Structure 1
Amino acid sequence: MNHSTPHPAPPPDTGPTESTSPARVRDSRGQPPPLLAQSAPERPPAPAVQQDDPVPSSAAVPRHLAVILDGNRRWAHKHHLPVTVAYQAGAQRVHDLVTWCEGAHIRYVTVWALSQDNLHRDPAAVTDILHAITTGLRAMAATRRWYIRAIGALDLLPAEHAEALRALEEDTRGIAGVTLNAAVAYSGRGDIVDAVHTLTQQRGADGEHDQPVTEHLVARHLSTAGQPDIDLVIRTSGEQRLSGFMPWQTAEAELYFTDADWPGFTHDDFLRALHSYAGRDRRHGL
């Protein structure tokens, strides 16, 4: 057995959210156009979903679903396409995802679109991802169906993108539909550190230095404050790790891993994840 010290897991090959680009890879029913159907991803077919009961009952679906969007570059390589097309296709897939969640009565959705570590990639690639993210989220906001929030270290982004993402939250605030958290330049540990820092500053200003810090108080200062913890995490592209994604909010989450690359993630893939979740016995430590 190899007892060498493992290397830290690399950040996810995350990509963006929705896009207005014509590069729509699959329609809302998860069907590929003819050209892409000829070059399907190299993975064994998954079991068919029962069409007579495609979505579990509302009592059996997660209140808060999170997806780690992995595999954009792998998908582009498999299909011999520029990676920018993959980012645009991945963006469209987020639009589809939120539409599917709306139909399944899932109230909160979080997608990890770009990690803080991803900012160290080639600047041109980061620019392409950010362009797809902002363009896609603008298109989603234009539907006036969903409340869209950008969470993460937005101050690390170029000003034009940071301002655009903040404006989207203001523009969609008060919309009663699905809440979408788009995690951009996001770090799970950074989320906790920021929450504790804000709480400490608030305590100091209120003269409450000696008051105990509780889990409830920390949770009130996280990026997802006011939302239920994540019930189900889906990670695409075959990777089986969380890579530091929301360690606090996923403490009791169910995990679901699929070989589908994010731009090729279909409605059937989504339903398989929901049925897997519905069949689990969640004991919450009991």
Structure 2
Amino acid sequence: MTVLASNLKSAGSDLVPRHVAIIMDGNGRWARARGKPRTAGHRAGVDAVRRTVQAAAEIGIEYLTLYGFSTENWKRPEGEVSDLMGLLRLFIKRELAALDKNGVQIKIIGDRDRFAPDIRELLNNAEKRTATNSSLKLTIALSYGARSELVDAVRQIARRIASGELSVTDVSEDLIEQNLATAGMPDPDLLIRTSGEQRISNFLLWQSAYTEFVFDDVLWPDFERQHLERAIENFAGRERRFGAVL
């Protein structure tokens, strides 16, 4: 029996990370190992998203952030990108009602201007429809890159300095955080990357300064509740000092 199964049923437990971020990696390798096209891996990955959202809510995680599509992913073959856009449309249309019913609040971060108008409308409607929900705050990073996010934050602050609204001495960590796409959210306590790769690939660079990392060999389509629980068990056994000596 896992630690979570026996001891972490309460959402208020200090051992449950408040915010979990996941880099969902391995769809292509999952498909290749089965002799299937990459699109099959992406479709199987959607099922893993559904399972993970449900498990996170049941475990008592408050914030779940999923890296769905990076700014670099636009460089993939046109056919693959087109299929991913189709899956995004399908996911929102099929899952929104259930997510809303279960109290999941949806937030999208990233450059949504690069998406087709109908996708932008779907994303906007998903955010509006679920804005008052509070059982789980689900953030999906789409067309997202942390360096671009930081550039945007600097530009916003620079414009306010140029207009005289702010001075250079007003620039602080808090001010930068207020201008990030994740403003108002706690930093991730735990970041999980699947597929065995050990890098964070331009994901939440500022926010992950003191995040605990777990790299799991499981490919994303095979990610189950047990893998999430195992990562949280790992997290619960660590001593977080945030640069201090305890």
Q: TM-score, normalised by structure 1?
A: 0.78
Structure 2 residue 23 is matched with structure 1 residue 68: yes
**What amino acid sits opposite 1:220 in the alignment?**
Q
SS of equivalent residue, structure 2 residue 181:
coil
**Structure 1: runs of 5+ lacking an equivalent:** 1-47
What's the CA shift for 1:206?
A: 5.4
1:133 to 88, 108, 116: 88
The answer for the alignment partner of 1:103 in structure 2 is 58
**What amino acid sits opposite 1:257 in the alignment?**
F
Structure 2 residue 108 is matched with structure 1 residue 150: yes
SS of equivalent residue, structure 2 residue 14:
helix
**What amino acid sits opposite 2:204 in the alignment?**
M
* Contact map agreement 1:55 1:275 (CA 8 A) in 2: no
What's the CA shift for 1:132?
A: 1.3
The answer for the alignment partner of 2:79 in structure 1 is 124
What's the CA shift for 1:208?
A: 2.4
**What amino acid sits opposite 1:163 in the alignment?**
E
Aligned-residue RMSD, C-alpha: 1.8
CA deviations on 1:165-193 (whole Å, 9 max, x unpaired) are: 22211221111221111101110111111
2:123 to 152, 165, 179: 165
Q: TM-score, normalised by structure 2?
A: 0.90
What's the CA shift for 1:50?
A: 6.0
CA 243–68 in structure 1, closer or farther in 2 if over 3 Å, else same: same
What's the CA shift for 1:138?
A: 3.3
Give, in whole Å, the separation in 2 of the partners of 1:54 and 1:273: 15
Give, in whole Å, the separation in 1 of the partners of 2:20 and 2:84: 22
More deviation, 168-177/252-261: 168-177
SS of equivalent residue, structure 1 residue 229:
coil
Give, in whole Å, the separation in 2 of the partners of 1:61 and 1:50: 11
**Structure 2: runs of 5+ lacking an equivalent:** none
* Contact map agreement 2:16 2:61 (CA 8 A) in 1: yes
Structure 2 residue 39 is matched with structure 1 residue 84: yes
What's the CA shift for 1:217?
A: 0.7
CA 205–166 in structure 1, closer or farther in 2 if over 3 Å, else same: farther
SS of equivalent residue, structure 2 residue 73:
helix
**What amino acid sits opposite 1:259 in the alignment?**
D
What aligned pairs does 1:1-286 form with structure 2 within 5 A after superposition? 49=2, 53=6, 55=8, 58-143=13-98, 144=100, 145-205=103-163, 207-286=165-244
Q: Name the one with the larger helix percent.
A: 2
* Contact map agreement 1:134 1:165 (CA 8 A) in 2: no
* Contact map agreement 1:56 1:278 (CA 8 A) in 2: no
CA 275–56 in structure 1, closer or farther in 2 if over 3 Å, else same: farther
More deviation, 210-219/135-144: 135-144
What's the CA shift for 1:133?
A: 2.2
What's the CA shift for 1:82?
A: 2.9
Would you say how many aligned residue pairs link Structure 1 and Structure 2? 239
